[in-house]
Amino acid sequence: MQHFTDRNGELYAEDIPLAAVAARFGTPTYVYSRAAFTQHYLSYSEALGSHPGMICYAIKANSNLGILNLLAKLGAGFDIVSLGELERVLRAGGNPEKIVFSGVGKTPEEMARALDVGIFCFNVESEAELEILAQVAAEKGKVANISLRVNPDVDANTHPYISTGLKENKFGIDIKRAPAVYARAAQLPSLSVQGVDCHIGSQLTQLTPFLDALDRVLALIDELAANGIAIHHLDLGGGLGVTYRNETPPEVADYMAALKAKLGDRKLSLMFEPGRSISANAGVLLTKVLYLKPTEHKNFAIIDAAMNDNIRPSLYQAWQDIRPVKPRTEQAKKWDLVGPICETGDFLGKDRELAIEPGDLLSMMSTGAYGFSMSSNYNTRGRAAEVIVDGDQMHLVRARETIDDMLRGEAVIPE
């Protein structure tokens, strides 16, 4: 998190004190660093270098229009999983020809819109989906570029909820079945086979699972070539982990060098769908201590951010650092940082050593990925504001949700 630093005893985002963001926009607020997003994206595009391919940011990690626009300006492609995400990319100025469409449940309507705007490729996740896509494209007189997302059955060694490449997971097509499905796809005139896709999980901190998956996918590509089906691109999905605490994930450059070394003389362009590794350490969640409630058993600090703002601790037992914006010199005590929501699972951190008082600002670090994008209105709490810091400037890129925003569309029934 090198763009969020301590200066003169207080926490900054780039050249802006976080306290100034809170003073202007209130709390809870997600604060993103433009420089961090840029640096993380460039680490991919530079590591890819002159090798043909594309970096398609997985927008589910953080889909704010302001962020997508920054990445589009850097030349990024995008990995989407819904019509909503497609429209976000288009409104943010993303190039449709750099979009890949993943997801196990694409509807015919979503397929039609993606075909109309001319996306780069559909990552098809089942045989049933393949048939529907072929029909939708045929009805439009179009040809859909496809790759099959194969499930290579490798263990990503990550949290079970974010592991996707095991045969018991719902994702992709069993790699053993893939040759038959490719043969079927090759017969359908409204489909054009372009690539192979595989995404085995998220927050991977070792190279081995990626390389094991790659070995299996390359063997498939060779088999397909022998059957007369040429594959042009290899999409390795996302999944590279980040440091939340003391994890030591591989560097992007080392990851890519290891992959390129395995390609041999196969002429394959390389696609990636990174989400977390671009956004997690580019954002923080700014929150305020409301009340301190020391009890005989535990010290609770009730803060104004809750599980509806960041569900990762409750859902995955995720640990994300929580730091005072202006550290105090008093003796620290252990606190459970809990939100105002009526659930025991509503905590953002447990047993954190902190010296805090009501009114203090805290910064939950590494929350740029799967933070706001997984937030909800549970307990009818408006979602947080989002701000991008760019040097010494701050820009509100999503206003805090109001009561009217939340109730829009609801009605009472007539008597």
Q: Does 98 bind ligand LLP (CB under 6 A)?
A: no
Which one, 22 or 204, has the nearer CB to ligand LLP?
A: 204
Task: Choose the catalytic residue: 56, 121, 198, 342.
Answer: 342
Whole-number Cα distances in Å, 240 to 156, 202, 361, 374: 10, 7, 31, 19
Site string for ligand LLP, 374-403 (x = CB under 6 A): x-----------------------------
Rounded least distance, CB 312 to ligand LLP, Å:
5
Which one, 285 or 289, has the nearer CB to ligand LLP?
A: 285
Q: How far apart are CA 200 and CA 158, in angstroms?
A: 10
Amino acid present at 73: K
8 Å CB contact between 394 and 16 = yes
Which one, 190 or 277, has the nearer CB to ligand LLP?
A: 277
Determine phi and psi for 335, rounding to 5 degrees.
-130, 145
8 Å CB contact between 98 and 78 = yes
8 Å CB contact between 279 and 316 = no
Rounded least distance, CB 99 to ligand LLP, Å:
13
Burial group, residue 63, by CB count within 10 angstroms (0-12, 13-18, 19+) = buried
Site string for ligand LLP, 330-369 (x = CB under 6 A): ----------------------------------------
Point out which span in 35-43, 47-55, 195-203, 215-223 binds ligand LLP (CB under 6 A): 195-203
Rounded least distance, CB 159 to ligand LLP, Å:
7
Q: In the range 210-239, which residues lie near ligand LLP by CB under 6 A?
A: 237-239
Neighbours of 264 (CB within 10 A): 9
Q: Which residues, at least 6 apart from 318, have a Cβ–Cβ distance to it below 8 Å? A: 244, 312
Q: Does 199 bind ligand LLP (CB under 6 A)?
A: yes
Residue, CB closest to ligand LLP: 238
Q: How far apart are CA 128 and CA 407, in angstroms?
A: 38
Rounded least distance, CB 309 to ligand LLP, Å:
13
Q: Is 273 marked as binding a ligand?
A: yes
Determine phi and psi for 147, rounding to 5 degrees.
-130, 155
With the C-alpha atoms ordered 14, 15, 20, 25, is the resulting torsion angle positive or negative? negative
Structure-block tokens of residue 403: 């009561």
Q: Is 415 marked as binding a ligand?
A: no
Q: Which of 388, 287, 372 is nearest to 59 (CA)?
A: 372
Point out which span in 42-50, 178-186, 267-275, 322-330 binds ligand LLP (CB under 6 A): 267-275
# of chain residues touching ligand LLP (CB under 6 A)? 20
Q: Does 165 bind ligand LLP (CB under 6 A)?
A: no
Q: How far apart are CA 47 and CA 65, in angstroms?
A: 26
With the C-alpha atoms ordered 32, 33, 36, 42, is the resulting torsion angle positive or negative? positive
Output the DSSP codes for 300-362. EEEES--TTT--HHHHH-----EEESS---SPPEEEEEE-SSSSTT-EEEEEEEE---TT-EE
Point out which span in 39-47, 176-184, 273-281, 401-409 binds ligand LLP (CB under 6 A): 273-281
First CA to last CA distance, the chain: 56
Is 121 among the residues known to form the active site?
no
Q: Which of 316, 321, 332, 355 binds ligand LLP (CB under 6 A)?
A: 316
Q: Is 182 marked as binding a ligand?
A: no
Q: In the range 18-57, which residues lie near ligand LLP by CB under 6 A?
A: none
Q: Is 312 marked as binding a ligand?
A: yes
Rounded least distance, CB 351 to ligand LLP, Å:
21
Which one, 64 or 203, has the nearer CB to ligand LLP?
A: 203
Which one, 29 or 63, has the nearer CB to ligand LLP?
A: 63
Q: Which of 274, 283, 324, 368 binds ligand LLP (CB under 6 A)?
A: 274
Our separate counts of H helices and E strands in the chain read 12, 21
By CB under 6 A, name the binding residues for ligand LLP. 58, 61, 79, 102, 162, 199, 202-203, 237-239, 273-277, 312, 316, 370, 374
Known binding-site residue numbers for pyridoxal 5'-phosphate = 239, 273-276, 370
Binding positions are 239, 273-276, 312, 316, 343, 370
Known binding residues for substrate are 276, 312, 316, 343, 370
Known catalytic residues are: 342
